[in-house]
Amino acid sequence: MFKPYGSEVLKPLHVNNQARRKSLLDQSEKIPSIIISSAAAANAVMLGGGYFTPLKGYMDLADVLSVAEKMSLTSGLFWPTPVVNMVPDTSLTEEINSAGKIALRDPNVEDNPVIAIQTVDKIETIIDQQISEVAAQVYGTTDINHPGVAAFSAAGNSLISGDIEVLNYSYFETEFPDTFKTAVEIRNEIEQRNWETVVAFQTRNPMHRAHEELCRMAQKELDADGILVHMLLGKLKQGDIPADIRNASIRKMVELYFPENTVMVTGYGFDMLYAGPREALLHAIFRQNAGCSHLIVGRDHAGVEDYYGAFDSQTIFDSIPEGTLQIEIFRGDHTVWCFKCGKVVMMRDCPHEKEDYLLLSGTRVREILSEGKELPPEFSRPEVAKILSEYYQTL
């Protein structure tokens, strides 16, 4: 199995030692505390679970600007997106600096329990111009209608950097007990299954027929031992299908249409960035940390609307220094239902013409469902379509 990214071993920041946990919880009652953004809480979950190995906490302003411009920290470590704790201008600056630590409270759980304790290295102001510059470089746009830009721009102008110790995994453990897994847990399960070649599939949507077949194609071409279906469980843009519905539909598809012990259905606690190419690189890093050998990168991976080219998330891998990542990508083409072939195909592998194709997309699936219509069998397995249709009837 590949080594974790930038490290000989995984570096999860979740505190398992009970004495240390008790000490930190006692500290949390005596030091300043602040309710952080959903994005910062999700970063804590990813750091806690080892997904963001080898990072030790939140970046400072110099690292944020360096990551945006050069895709590397000031230390030279390759990293494609900022990992930050940005908050509105705080009146607690003097108090926080005096204490040296701050309790970070979860915005997504009732009563805002402490999710992590942060050692405060710096509290810096990131001005609006810098926020705009970082957005332009990371998201490829400053358009406030872009959901990632909107979330980043609204987080606040105070940047609190420093190492963290994570106390819990927010709502992900309780709401998705059978699906949420840390990078540590996934690595351990891959070892238990004796898998060596493992292909990861990233999704924030229910898996329609094209996704299903893309996984099969990758597994066959790579002779992979197994597939990691790794779904995002965090916050999405308005209109996307909720995580519990996605979870149910994906599990039903795997149960009925994949051989036993060939697919792991898991999820991770992160808020979608919709950063297209930059987010594809981040996806590769934390799938390497989870023990995967390959990541499927298909059309418009991690994109939204028409902000990115169809295959920008593939070509960006050609621009990073060779040997940066051990994980490799499997490049998916446009997937379509070919009436002459009678199955889902990648257009590059099919000899037929455009008039023989039915284009498949998650967007079109959502449109059909929102109109109260039935999904055609070329789009979705009937058992999956039933779950999705029942959800849309409740809206």
Instruction: Give residue 220's pLDDT.
Output: 94
Is the separation of the CB atoms in 104 and 125 below 8 Å? no
Q: Which CATH number fits domain 18-173: 3.30.70.1520, 1.10.1040.10, 3.30.390.30, 3.10.400.10?
A: 3.10.400.10
Instruction: Give residue 215's pLDDT.
Output: 94
Catalytic choice (43, 85, 108, 205): 205
Is the separation of the CB atoms in 336 and 357 below 8 Å? yes
Residue 150 CA to residue 62 CA, distance in Å, equals: 22
For 339, the 3-state DSSP assignment is coil
Residue 373 CA to residue 365 CA, distance in Å, equals: 10
Residue 81 CA to residue 64 CA, distance in Å, equals: 8
Instruction: Give residue 338's pLDDT.
Output: 85
Residue 16 among the catalytic residues: no
pLDDT tens track, the chain, 395 positions = 889 999 999 999 999 999 999 999 999 999 999 999 999 999 999 999 999 999 999 999 999 999 999 999 999 999 999 999 999 987 788 898 888 999 999 999 999 999 999 999 999 999 999 999 999 999 999 999 999 999 999 999 999 999 999 999 999 999 999 999 999 999 999 999 999 999 999 998 888 888 898 999 999 999 999 999 999 999 887 778 888 999 999 999 999 999 999 999 999 999 999 999 999 999 999 999 999 999 999 988 999 989 999 899 999 999 999 999 999 999 987 778 888 888 888 778 888 888 888 876 767 777 888 888 888 888 889 999 999 988 888 87
The alpha-helical segments, DSSP class H, found in the chain are 18-28, 38-48, 61-70, 93-99, 128-138, 147-154, 172-175, 183-192, 209-222, 243-257, 277-289, 312-315, 362-370, 382-392
Catalytic choice (204, 209, 251, 381): 204
Each domain of the chain, given as residue ranges in start order, spans: 18-173, 177-392
> 18-173 with 177-392: one CATH topology?
no
Structure tokens belonging to residue 63:
């690292």
Residue 287 among the catalytic residues: no
Structure tokens belonging to residue 186:
């996934």
CATH number given to 177-392: 3.40.50.620
Instruction: Give residue 236's pLDDT.
Output: 81
Instruction: Give residue 100's pLDDT.
Output: 93
